[in-house]
Structure 1
Amino acid sequence: MRTRSGVEPDEAAGLRADAVRNRNRILEVARKLFAERGLDVPMAAVARHAGVGVATLYRRFPTRESLITEVFADQFAACVSVVDDALADPDPWRGFCTVIERVCAMQAVDRGFSAAVVAAFPGAFDVEQERDRALRGFAELTRRAKENGRLRADFAQDDLTLLLMANCGIIAATAETAPAASRRLVAYLLDGLRAVHAVPAKPLPPPVPLSLHEVFGSPRP
């Protein structure tokens, strides 16, 4: 017996399975390319690396934003979870530091996530809602840490963007040493955010062997 489209049930099941495989392959490839190159990878390049036609890609993901939000859905959810865990910590300064450290660590291993964190997704209500929830939670952490005298009083919510931008710059310039360089930078930044003498400074992570040639992209002599 044929379906309304004239396709046998077994054949229809095969088509659905093939569509699922294509979709999963597109997401897998996009995730890898975004992590390596950022969000500017052409859709045609995603299709080519996934072994599907551009038309197939656009059937599954009509816009670049729809592909990006699907690729980073788990990371956005993880950010919300990190903030929720930090809010449950009885020590607001520790919770504040945990959010900065974990989000920056996520940035350090995925260039695409760095861009996705600050990108606008007007058509993706769930993503925008999750990000707003995470930001509200971070604002509450900030308030608590200031209130008990652990975080310097002049820290502003917009400074979170500043920290993420600094971390993003480190990541872009340091390639394979990015995670270690990021950890050291974050340790410096958090030490600078402590209210003076409020908490003993933690030892910095080990230094990372970096060259100014790497930072400025100039050729080595």
Structure 2
Amino acid sequence: MTATAEQTRPRLRVDATRNRERIIATARDAFVEQGPDVPLDTVAQRAGVGNATLYRHFVDRAELIHQVTIDSMARVTAAAETALAEEPDAFDALQRFVHHAADERVGALCSLLGTGFDKTAPDVVEARTRLDGAINRVLEAAHRSGRLRPDVGFGDLMLAITQLTRPVPGTACVDIDRYVHRHLQLFLDGLRTPARSTLTGSAANIEDLEHREA
């Protein structure tokens, strides 16, 4: 093999990695905007790659959805871990994480977890375990700080983020995204101690959410 060929191969691998990352990022945005049935040709065009390149990395829509989901969970996990590591105040870490999770549009991406998505795949289970652990550590730190009301649990937090970032059906409510962070801050203010009311029922936990998704 010539020196030129040896130099070309690593460059091709780097280009392929960048194309794959670009496709995943573009697909995530397209799924948020148009749902899981967005034409893959549209994804390829927006990513600046040919259809052949997209299908070389992802054999079908199911595989692309799978990878977008894994990538999104990893990004939200990293946001929770970074917030907890960098913020000196635990409640500030919680607030930072919540706003970042909203930017990831976790509610809009819930539509990807419908029929055909394998929640038992090993990489999905691993990513979900890491995600749940990271979020729980943020919550536990906020509870220990005494600034997070004690009757709030994991499911309460994630359901609120999901609902506030879920697309609104129809066209009557336009530009709703610009209000998400405003309303999230109202929600976060309601999580502070001292609590101004007593919550009905019990705090949702991971098992409750898994049962709801089944």
Q: Does 1:113 align with 2:105?
A: no
2:175 alignment partner, SS class? helix
Match for residue 175 of structure 2? 176
Given that residues 170 and 181 in structure 1 are in contact (C-alpha distance below 8 angstroms), is that contact kept between their aligned partners in structure 2? no
Match for residue 132 of structure 2? 135
Given that residues 44 and 51 in structure 2 are in contact (C-alpha distance below 8 angstroms), is that contact kept between their aligned partners in structure 1? yes
How far did 1:148 drift? 2.6
Aligned pair in 2 of structure 1 residues 45, 101: CA closer, same or farther (>3 Å)?
closer
Rounded to whole Å, the distance in 2 between the matches of 1:101 and 1:28 is 19
Q: Which moved more, 1:43-52 or 1:141-150?
A: 43-52
Q: Which moved more, 1:134-143 or 1:61-70?
A: 61-70
- RMSD in angstroms over aligned alpha carbons? 3.8
Runs (5+) with no aligned partner, structure 1: 1-8, 199-221
| 1:66-85 deviation digits (Å, cap 9, x = unpaired) | 20233455433321211111
Q: Any residues of structure 2 matched to 1:1-16 within 5 Å, and which?
A: none
2:188 alignment partner, SS class? helix
Rounded to whole Å, the distance in 1 between the matches of 2:131 and 2:125 is 10
Identical amino acids, percent of aligned pairs? 29
Q: Does 1:52 align with 2:51?
A: yes
Q: Any residues of structure 2 matched to 1:94-109 within 5 Å, and which?
A: 94-107=92-105
* More contact order relative to length (CA 8 Å, sep ≥ 6): 2
Rounded to whole Å, the distance in 1 between the matches of 2:99 and 2:19 is 35
| 1:96-128 deviation digits (Å, cap 9, x = unpaired) | 111111101221xx8753545x66543653343
Q: Does 1:154 align with 2:151?
A: yes
Q: Does 1:78 align with 2:75?
A: yes
Aligned pair in 2 of structure 1 residues 42, 111: CA closer, same or farther (>3 Å)?
farther
Rounded to whole Å, the distance in 2 between the matches of 1:69 and 1:176 is 28
Q: Which amino acid aligns with 1:34?
A: F
Runs (5+) with no aligned partner, structure 2: 197-214
Among 87, 108, 125, the alignment partner of 2:122 is 125
Given that residues 107 and 162 in structure 2 are in contact (C-alpha distance below 8 angstroms), is that contact kept between their aligned partners in structure 1? no
Rounded to whole Å, the distance in 1 between the matches of 2:163 and 2:145 is 27
Match for residue 206 of structure 1? none
How far did 1:190 drift? 0.5
Rounded to whole Å, the distance in 1 between the matches of 2:21 and 2:140 is 41
Rounded to whole Å, the distance in 1 between the matches of 2:153 and 2:107 is 25
Q: Which amino acid aligns with 1:52?
A: N
1:143 alignment partner, SS class? helix
Aligned pair in 2 of structure 1 residues 170, 182: CA closer, same or farther (>3 Å)?
farther
Match for residue 208 of structure 2? none
| Count of aligned pairs between the two proteins | 178
Given that residues 84 and 138 in structure 2 are in contact (C-alpha distance below 8 angstroms), is that contact kept between their aligned partners in structure 1? yes
How far did 1:52 drift? 3.4
Rounded to whole Å, the distance in 2 between the matches of 1:96 and 1:83 is 8
